[in-house]
Amino acid sequence: MPLQEDLQSIMHGEVACDDAAKTAASRDTSLFQVLPSAVVHPMNVHDICELVRYASTHPETSLTARSAGTDMTGGPLTEGIVVDMTTHFTRIGEIHESSIVVEPGVYYRDFEKKTLAHNWLLPSYPASKDLCTVGGMVNNNSGGEKTLMYGKTDKYIEKLSVVLSDGNEYELRPLSKTELDSAMQEQTFLGQVYRDMHILLEKNYDAIQQAKPHVSKNSAGYALWNIWDRKTFDLTKLFAGSQGTLGITTEIQFQLVRPKKHAAMLVLFLHSLEPLAELTNHILKYQPESFESYDDHTLSVALRLFPSFVRKLKTNAFALGLQFLPEALMLARGGLPKLIIMAEFTGNDAHEAIIRAKAAQSATKKFNILSRIATTKQEQDKYWTIRRESFHLLREHVHGKHTAPFIDDCIVEPKYLPEFLPKLAAILEKYNLDYTIAGHVGDGNFHIIPLMDLHDEKQRAIIPKASKEVYDLVFSFHGSSTAEHNDGLIRSHLLPQMYGKEIYGLFEETKKIFDPENIFNPGKKVNSNWDYSLKHIEAY
């Protein structure tokens, strides 16, 4: 029986095996293209359970969950069956106290409209907040501009419903020691998972705790160190950031926070990176909610794509030009800055936010850096638009070259930035790369996006060479290869180098405990093949 008929016979949702459907699911926002065998749109949990049971009885069949396709790593790309969650898994529940239940195919923009209408917020949204889904946020353990203050997505997951490799749906939530003892007695697949994971974590407890990267956020590997502190056992911490390699998430219960009502933004224009570390430490003392940056390359792109930013801000060119007049005058005196820093201070009182921004500004006077304070939403939005939209606009509007996110999410402790960033720039200049840098300077996390002609074999050959040099540098500063974007096809091969054989071996054991038949999103996190990834770079 043909695959389409085979799959349609076991599920209520749609099955597509035509070229258009497969091509649409063959790309995300990464470098890669991988053509799946089929794209299915499960109607309900029953469909997903049946798909898992089908895969378990058909060797070489795999399932890869996909939502919005905004992943920059090739995480949802597969030669197996793509399970598209955005068609039917789109329910948003009601808010009860500070909690809300939502399905993984819900776009964050729609989710946020509902939560903000009730004055609640999920603060871990990424820069792609207008494009991504909440399911993608969970599976990558996303972070963004508010992570400095509020933490990443895993912090806000209260419960998950997941379908595991036995084809049954289970609930995951934090368990006390007593609850864990009870769960380990259950004669179910999940009961066996609890028993095996408890043994793995206890047997290797000290090594696992020591392996936790010394950075403020990390999405590389499996977060084994966050599961068990010998008081609470929480498998949601493992599923967050697992890129769908352990099971398929069907429902999420999030905890929400009350957003602050007012904001004031301190904007600084650095013409040298030399004071960056000391400056960062000075500003952090005043507890900014967001502490972001973008470089002169990004600003140049924004100026070149000025009409697109006008449309994004729903204004006209003359009005936007007037908004940038203070910056234009400053830049006329000092030239284009190497780095623009945005430190946003918030409060439930407008005066409180402005006072803290001004105090932080005063603390930076010793550095003789040009700065200004933006107090209105209109003023702040122009900076946020450049920061949030730069990658998307590069993808859409820079002709002849393509965004090449292969070193897009490294992180080191902020104290290392004055030494780290010049060495990073030297590598990029060595390969004569055009690139932009934007990121979360308060965390030491930078998104470096080279622009390359991927039709050119010489350009493509740079990717593995530059990648190795950049990540060798990151690891020499005790950093992580990915703070937020995850591993996927682009970075999974780095995990043995980053963590060493022992911890990587525990990642392999974890995958086997949850997915002994390798059903879920194979080739990501463990058992990756870098040569396979390089062969699937797509020249758009």
The CATH number that applies at residue 26 is 3.30.43.10
Q: Among 29, 64, 84, which residue terminates a domain?
A: 84
Q: Are 29 and 72 in contact (CB under 8 A)?
A: yes
The per-residue pLDDT of the chain, averaged, comes to: 92
| Geometric angle at alpha carbon 160, from 158 and 164, rounded to 5° | 155
How many domains is the chain built from? 3
| Geometric angle at alpha carbon 42, from 14 and 191, rounded to 5° | 155
Residue 509: DSSP 8-state: H
Question: Domain residues for 128?
Answer: 92-255
pLDDT for the residue numbered 346: 95
pLDDT, one tens digit per residue, over 71-87 is 999 999 999 999 999 99
Domain assignment present for 207: yes
Asked whether residue 172 falls in the same domain as residue 227, the answer is yes
Q: Among 373, 391, 409, which residue terminates a domain?
A: 391
Q: Among 84, 112, 140, which residue terminates a domain?
A: 84
pLDDT for the residue numbered 436: 81
CATH of the domain at 173: 3.30.465.10
pLDDT for the residue numbered 187: 97
pLDDT, one tens digit per residue, over 171-221 is 999 999 999 999 999 999 999 999 999 999 999 999 999 999 999 999 999
Domain assignment present for 486: no
Find all residues with CB under 8 Å of 86, minimum gap 6, and list them. 66, 67, 68, 105, 107, 133
Q: Kindly state the helix (H) or strand (E) to which residue 467 belongs, with its residue range.
A: helix 457-476
Torsion of CA 349, 350, 356, 358, to 10 degrees: -160
Asked whether residue 48 falls in the same domain as residue 111, the answer is no
pLDDT for the residue numbered 267: 94
pLDDT for the residue numbered 378: 83
Asked whether residue 49 falls in the same domain as residue 66, the answer is yes
pLDDT for the residue numbered 317: 53
Extract the residue ranges of the chain whose pLDDT is less than 50. none
